[in-house]
Structure 1
Amino acid sequence: MATGFVLTRQQRDLDDSIELSYWLSTAEGPNRIDIHSEEAVCFVLTAEREAIQQRLSDLQGWRLRELSLCNLQQRPVSALYCRTLSLYRDVIARLGQAGLALMEEDIRPVDRYLMERFIHASALTVDRDGKQQLKAADYSPAFRILSLDIETTMRADRILSVALQGPGLELVLVNGEAPNEAWIRSCRGERELLERMIAAINAYDPDILIGWNVIGFDLRVLEARAKAQGLRLSIGREPQPILVDRAQNGRWFARIPGRVVLDGIDTLKGATWRFERYGLDFVAHELLGRGKAIDKVDDRGAEIQRLYAEDRLALARYNLEDCRLVSEIFAKAGLIEYLIERARLTGLPLDKVGGSQQAFDNLYLPALHRRGHVAPQYASGRSDLSIPGGFVMESRPGLYRHILVLDFKSLYPSIIRTFKIDPLGLSKGCAEGAVSDDLVPGFHGAIFSRSQTLLPEIIETLWHARDRAKAEGNAALSQAIKIQMNACYGVLGSRVCRFFDQRLSGSITLRGHQILNQTAERIEQHHGHRVIYGDTDSVFVWLGDDWPDRNTSLYGEQLAVELNRWWCEQLRERFDLDSALELQFEAHYSRFLMPRMRHSEKGSKKRYAGLKRTGKGGEELVFRGLESVRTDWTALARSFQRELYARIFHDRPYHPLIAETIECLRGGRSDELLVYHRRLRQPLEAYTHNQPPHVKAARLLEAERRQQRLPPAYTVGDSVQYLITVNGPEPLELLRSPIDYQHYVDKQLLPVADSILPFLGEGFEALAAPQIDLF
C-alpha cells in the first residue's frame, strides 16, 4: 500500500479492455498504478434501448444495463458500456448521428474512475483480489521541481544552450566550446546537447517541469530538434517520447508520462495574478525586483546571438538566470501551493488550464448519481430566454466627498445558497406532484425544491472551508475556493455546460438585480443617504459633502449590520428562508469621482476613482476601469492621470502639472512614456476589414523580418509595442519617423483631464491653450 498525489493520468486500449495508468508522487518516490479491465460508460434513455441495439447490431464489445437511475426529466436511463476506447468513439458517433440521447458521454474513463471514488488529488493504493485499485486519501506532496529554459538561433532552427535548475542542480549545456566552469558543459554539436539534456532530466527525475512559455516554445523546439537529429525526446518516466500539440482553442499542451509541465504565464493567469505584460523580464521586476541577466532586453534575440558568438559565459549566466527567475516567481506567487489546493478541492489535474466545467462535474456528478440521477444532455435546458448579466446601476456622475462602498460577500454563491438554486432542485421543483411547502420561486417560471438540492450544500461547504482557510492564513486554499465558488455561476450560465438552463442563470442574476435595487431603496428611504452607483455586488453610498467624518468606518460597519438584519427579516417573512446574504463595509473614500461617459452627460459604468481611507490614518489612490489601470493606454496617460487626480483630491494646485506635462511631451523628454502595448487577438492575416494601429505596426515589423529571412515575431496573444508617428503607427523596434506629439495631446492627455476637470468648471483645451501657443 502506498499513498501519493496524482501527477498524470493516461488511458489506452489493450486487446479487449481499457487500461488506466496513474503516476503518483509518494514519500518513497514516483509510483505508477495500472488499473486493468476497465470499460468506458455513458448513459442513454431506457426507452431508446431498441433503437440503440438496432444501430449497433453489427458491433461487438458493448453492452446495455438497466439502472435504477433517471435523468432530470425523471425518465429512466441505462448504462452503455464499451470494452475499448476505439469502440466507444465509434458507438458515440453512431448514436449521435442517429439523434439518440447521450448523457455524460464526454467524460473520459481515466477521469470518471477518480471522480466516482471522490479521489480529488491524493490516493491510496490497495490490492483487491490481486488487482491494484485506488481509493481517496489525504496526502501532502513534496514535489521535485525542475526549471527549464533554452536559447536558440533567431529562426529557432538550432539550439545554442539549455539550462536546468532546481534544488541541488544548476546546469547549462552549450552547443560548442564553452568556458571551463563547474556548472557549464560543452557539447560537440546539437545531438550531444540533446542527449545530455535528456540524461540530466531523467537523472534528476522531477515531478514537475516549469518554465516561461515552456510548452509553446521550449518543449516544442526541443521536440522538433530531436526529430531533426533522429532522437526520441524521452524525458518522461516511461520510454516513449513526449507529445507536444495544440488544442482546438489554440493553447499548447504537453504530455510527459509521470511528469507535469507547468507554464508560468498560464499558471499565473489561472491563479488570478494580473500584470500589464507577461514577459518574463516584466513579471520578474514586478514580483522579484529584478529581471533578466542581459543588457538589451528589448532586443534580446540579437543580443543572444552576439553573446553566443562573443561571450558564452555571459550567455550561460543569462540562460541559467531565466530558470532561476521562473523558480522564484513560482515560489513568490505560491503557484505550486495554489495548484495543490485547487486539485484537492476540485480534482483538476495540476496542469489543467481553466477547467471550471470539469471542476463542477467532479463536485456535482458523483453526488447527483447517488441521488438517483444522471446529468442531462449537453445544454438541453431552456435557451430562449432574455437573461441580463450582472447588475449595473445607472450612476450619478460627480466629484464627491465621503462615499461608502458596501459589498455583498460572494453574492452569487450566497444567492445559490439562500434561494436553493440547483439543477436537481429545479428538476424536483418543476416535477408533477411537488409539495408546495417545499418550493422556492425563481425567475422565468423556475421553481426549486428547498429539500432536494446539491449545489447549495456544495457552496455552503466551500464557504465554510474558505472562512477556515482565511482564519488559518492559507491564502492558496482561500483563493482556490473563491475561484471555484464564483465559477459555479459561470458554469451554469455557459452554453457549453451540460446543466445549462437559462432558468438557472436567470434566477441568479435577476435575484441579484432585485437584491441590489432593494438594498439601495432601503438606504435611501430609511437612512437618508443617496446611492450614486451599484455594480454586481456593491452599492456606493454618498454620505454628503458636509459629513462630519467622525468614526465613518464604524458607521459603515453599523450600516452593513443593520442591512443584514433587515434582509434576514425580509427573507424569513417573504420566503421562509434563512439568509446567507452577507453585506460588508468595504471602503470609505474621502474623495470620489464618478465620471461621465465620453461625449455624454450620462454617468459611466465600471469606471471610477477615489481616495480610499486605509488603516491607521493612511490613504490609497484607487482607479477602476480608467486609463490609469488600462494597459492599452500609454504610460504618459497613466502617470498624468494619477498625479492630476491626486492633486485635485488633495485640493492642491494642478494647473502647473498640465503645463509641465505638455512642455515635456513636445520637448521630446517623455518619449519613453509614449509606447502603446496592445495584444494580438487573432493571427495578423485574419485582420482584413479592420486594421487597428497595432496590427499596422506589427505588419511593418513582419515585412522587415521577412526581408531578413527571419521567423515571424508575433503569434496570437503577443503584445505589439508601437508609437504613433507623423506617418502613422510604427513598431518600437523599427521606429523611423518623427513622433506625432499632437496625437498624444489629443488622444492621451485630453481624455484623461476632461474626465475630471469639468466637475471643477474647467476644460483641458482652455488650460492647455497657452502651452499650445508656445509651439
Structure 2
Amino acid sequence: MTTGQLVEWLLMRESSLKGSIIPNRPHGSEYMARAGETYTGGYVKSPKRGLSENIAIFDFRSLYPSVIVTHNIDLSTLKMENCKENIVPEFGYCFETSSRGFIPEILKDLVGKRNILKKKLKENNDPVERLFLHVQQHALKILANSFYGYMGYPRARWYKRECAQAVASLARMYIKKVMTIAEEDFSLEVIYGDTDSLFVIVPENKRNVAIEFLEKVNADLPGIIELEYEGYYKRGLFVTKKRYAMIDENGKITVKGLEFVRRDWAAIARKTQEKVLKILLKDANPEKAAKLVREVIINIKERRVKLEDLIIYTQLTKSIKSYKNIEPHLIAAKRLKDGGEEVVPGMVIGYVIVKGTNKLISMRAEPAAFVKLENYDPDYYIDNQILPAVLRIFEAIGYTRDYLREGIEQRSLKGWF
C-alpha cells in the first residue's frame, strides 16, 4: 500500500465515523481536467558553490502538515472571494477559520501523537524500545507529510488543487521570511535553502546568535509552525541544488545527491570520490585531493589496480531476449550464457570494459570472470568512471577536467576560498 493509499484509507475511515459522505474517485473528463492542472512546489535557494565552514542547519518541523493545520487548509474551508484574513500569498483566496476543517483536524492529531513519541524517544535509553518508538514516529511522519501530495493527486477522492497550491505557497513564504530574518536582522549568511530547511554560516564564536535567531523566529511563527536547530557542521561542500556533502563536529560525513550509492559505478570510482570528499571536508585541501585523483589515474594507466575494483555490477531485470537496447550488462550476460553459465532474470551481472576496436562501449563489456588485468581499457575507466565521479565536486571549487587528468594549469584558485 502506498502512502497516498494510506492517507485515503485514513480519510475514508474518519469520514465514515463522522457519518459524512465519501467523495467518489474521478473518472473520464474529470480526471483529465485534474491531470492538466499544475502548481509550483517548494522553494529552493541555489547554494553558494564550493567549500564553506561553520554551518548551522535549521529546518521546519513537519512544515507542510503544520501549514495545513495552522492555516486550516481544507476543501470545506476554501473561500475564493471576499477574503479578509488567512489569505494565500500570490493567489488571493483564503481559508475560513471559524470551524476546524476535516483534514486539518486529522493532521493535528497525527502531529500531536508523533510529538509525544519523539518526546518518549528522547527520554528512553533502552535500545529495543527506542527502535520501536523511532519506527512509530517515523511512520507517522511519512503519513503526515503525504497529505500535501495527496491533495494535489488527480485521482484522490479529496482532491483540490487550490489546497495543495496554498500549502506550497505558504511554505515558500515562510522559508523566504526566515531567510530574510537571518540575513537582515542577524547578519547571518544563508548559503543554501531547500523547501523546509536553511543552511547558515554561524562563526564558531557566535553560536549564541544562532540561538537568538531561532528564538526570534519561533516567537513570530503562528500556530504549530516551528523552526528547529538540526545541527552544526565544521565544513560543507556544495555542488548544485540537492547535491552536497558536510562533516559534523564528530567527523561524521553526510552526503546528499552524489554518487556514493550508485550501483553502476565501479568500486574504484566510488572509493576515489569518497577519499576526495574526506580530504576536502577534513583537511580543506583541494590540491591534495587533486593529487590523489591524478595518482589514481596513473595507477589505472599503469595497471597498478585490483581487478575487483574495476567490476561494474548491474542486475538483469528480465530475460536476455526481452531487452531491446544494447546494454553492457546484457552483452556480458550473453557471453556468460555462451560460455555455459546459467543466466536468469534477477541475476547481478559483474562485468569489466575491455580494450577493443569497437567504438560502442557496451560491446566491450566482458564478464568479470573472463577478464585478466591486462585486458581492461584504462581510458574508459579514467574518462567514464573516475573523472565523472569527481568532476562535479572539483568544478564547484574551480578545478578543470584537464587539470585533474593531465595536471594542466588553470587560472588562480584563490577566489574560491
Q: TM-score, normalised by structure 2?
A: 0.78
Residue number in structure 2 paired with 1:531? 190
SS in 1 for 2:252: strand
Distance of 1:624 and 1:532 partners within structure 2: 16
SS in 2 for 1:608: strand
Structure 1 residues 388 and 437, CA gap change in structure 2 (3 angstroms)? closer
**Corresponding letter in the other structure for 2:205:** R
Gaps of 5+ in 1: 1-353, 569-578, 596-603
Q: Which of the residues 257, 268, 279 maps onto 1:647?
A: 279
Distance apart, 1:370 and its partner CA:
5.0
Contact 2:335 2:367 in 1 (8 A): no
**Corresponding letter in the other structure for 2:403:** A
Contact 2:352 2:371 in 1 (8 A): no
Q: Residue by residue, what CA displacement relative to the aligned partner does 1:212-238 show, whole Å, maximum 9, x if unpaired?
A: xxxxxxxxxxxxxxxxxxxxxxxxxxx
Q: Are 1:660 and 2:295 matched, yes or no? A: yes
Within 5 Å, give how 1:363-382 maps onto structure 2. Answer: 363-371=10-18, 373-379=20-26, 380=30
Residue number in structure 2 paired with 1:460? 108
Distance apart, 1:680 and its partner CA:
6.1
Q: Are 1:740 and 2:384 matched, yes or no? A: no
Q: Are 1:721 and 2:350 matched, yes or no? A: yes
Within 5 Å, give how 1:339-488 maps onto structure 2. Answer: 354-371=1-18, 373-379=20-26, 380=30, 383=34, 384-426=36-78, 429=79, 441=88, 447-450=94-97, 451-473=99-121, 474-488=133-147
Distance apart, 1:483 and its partner CA:
1.6
Distance of 1:378 and 1:696 partners within structure 2: 44
Q: Are 1:503 and 2:139 matched, yes or no? A: no
Residue number in structure 1 paired with 2:221? 567
**Corresponding letter in the other structure for 1:724:** I
Structure 1 residues 684 and 357, CA gap change in structure 2 (3 angstroms)? farther
**Corresponding letter in the other structure for 1:725:** V
Contact 1:557 1:584 in 2 (8 A): no
Distance apart, 1:583 and its partner CA:
0.9
Q: Residue by residue, what CA displacement relative to the aligned partner does 1:689-730 show, whole Å, maximum 9, x if unpaired?
A: x54xxx3422541465378594x5225xx6543332224342
Residue number in structure 2 paired with 1:584? 228
Q: Residue by residue, what CA displacement relative to the aligned partner does 1:282-331 show, whole Å, maximum 9, x if unpaired?
A: xxxxxxxxxxxxxxxxxxxxxxxxxxxxxxxxxxxxxxxxxxxxxxxxxx
Q: Are 1:628 and 2:280 matched, yes or no? A: no
Distance apart, 1:651 and its partner CA:
3.6
Residue number in structure 2 paired with 1:34? none
Contact 2:49 2:397 in 1 (8 A): no
Structure 1 residues 563 and 700, CA gap change in structure 2 (3 angstroms)? same
Residue number in structure 1 paired with 2:402? 765
Contact 2:83 2:94 in 1 (8 A): no
Residue number in structure 2 paired with 1:151? none
Contact 2:318 2:345 in 1 (8 A): no
Contact 1:610 1:622 in 2 (8 A): yes
Distance of 2:388 and 2:40 partners within structure 1: 30
Residue number in structure 2 paired with 1:47? none
Structure 1 residues 440 and 558, CA gap change in structure 2 (3 angstroms)? same
Distance of 1:502 and 1:719 partners within structure 2: 43
**Corresponding letter in the other structure for 2:300:** L
Structure 1 residues 512 and 624, CA gap change in structure 2 (3 angstroms)? same
**Corresponding letter in the other structure for 1:373:** S
Distance of 1:367 and 1:687 partners within structure 2: 47
Residue number in structure 1 paired with 2:270? 638
**Corresponding letter in the other structure for 2:104:** P
Distance apart, 1:385 and its partner CA:
3.0
SS in 2 for 1:580: coil
Distance apart, 1:453 and its partner CA:
1.0
Residue number in structure 1 paired with 2:413? none
**Corresponding letter in the other structure for 2:233:** Y
Distance of 2:315 and 2:93 partners within structure 1: 42
Q: TM-score, normalised by structure 1?
A: 0.44
Structure 1 residues 745 and 480, CA gap change in structure 2 (3 angstroms)? same
Distance apart, 1:593 and its partner CA:
1.5
Contact 1:417 1:460 in 2 (8 A): yes
Highest RCO, 1 vs 2 (Cα 8 Å, sep ≥ 6): 2
**Corresponding letter in the other structure for 2:11:** Y
Within 5 Å, give how 1:672-711 maps onto structure 2. Answer: 672-678=308-314, 688=324, 691=326, 695-702=327-334, 704-705=336-337, 708=340, 710=342
SS in 2 for 1:531: strand
Distance apart, 1:361 and its partner CA:
3.0
Distance apart, 1:608 and its partner CA:
0.8
SS in 2 for 1:364: helix
Distance apart, 1:624 and its partner CA:
0.8
Residue number in structure 2 paired with 1:550? 205
Contact 1:412 1:512 in 2 (8 A): yes
Residue number in structure 2 paired with 1:43? none
Structure 1 residues 561 and 635, CA gap change in structure 2 (3 angstroms)? farther
Distance of 2:158 and 2:321 partners within structure 1: 37
Structure 1 residues 395 and 686, CA gap change in structure 2 (3 angstroms)? farther
Distance of 2:392 and 2:292 partners within structure 1: 16
Structure 1 residues 367 and 386, CA gap change in structure 2 (3 angstroms)? same
Contact 2:47 2:193 in 1 (8 A): yes
SS in 2 for 1:619: coil
Distance apart, 1:606 and its partner CA:
0.6
Distance of 1:706 and 1:389 partners within structure 2: 51
Distance of 2:317 and 2:166 partners within structure 1: 33
Q: Are 1:669 and 2:276 matched, yes or no? A: no
Contact 1:702 1:713 in 2 (8 A): no
SS in 2 for 1:472: helix
Contact 2:244 2:258 in 1 (8 A): yes
Contact 1:684 1:699 in 2 (8 A): no
Structure 1 residues 612 and 479, CA gap change in structure 2 (3 angstroms)? same
Q: Residue by residue, what CA displacement relative to the aligned partner does 1:338-364 show, whole Å, maximum 9, x if unpaired?
A: xxxxxxxxxxxxxxxx33233223322
Contact 1:403 1:541 in 2 (8 A): yes
Q: Residue by residue, what CA displacement relative to the aligned partner does 1:592-623 show, whole Å, maximum 9, x if unpaired?
A: 2112xxxxxxxx2110112222xxxx222221
Structure 1 residues 740 and 367, CA gap change in structure 2 (3 angstroms)? same
SS in 1 for 2:225: coil
Structure 1 residues 685 and 373, CA gap change in structure 2 (3 angstroms)? farther
| RMSD of aligned Cα (Å) | 3.3
Contact 2:178 2:217 in 1 (8 A): yes
Distance of 2:37 and 2:238 partners within structure 1: 33
SS in 1 for 2:198: strand
**Rg larger in structure:** 1
Q: How many residues align?
A: 379
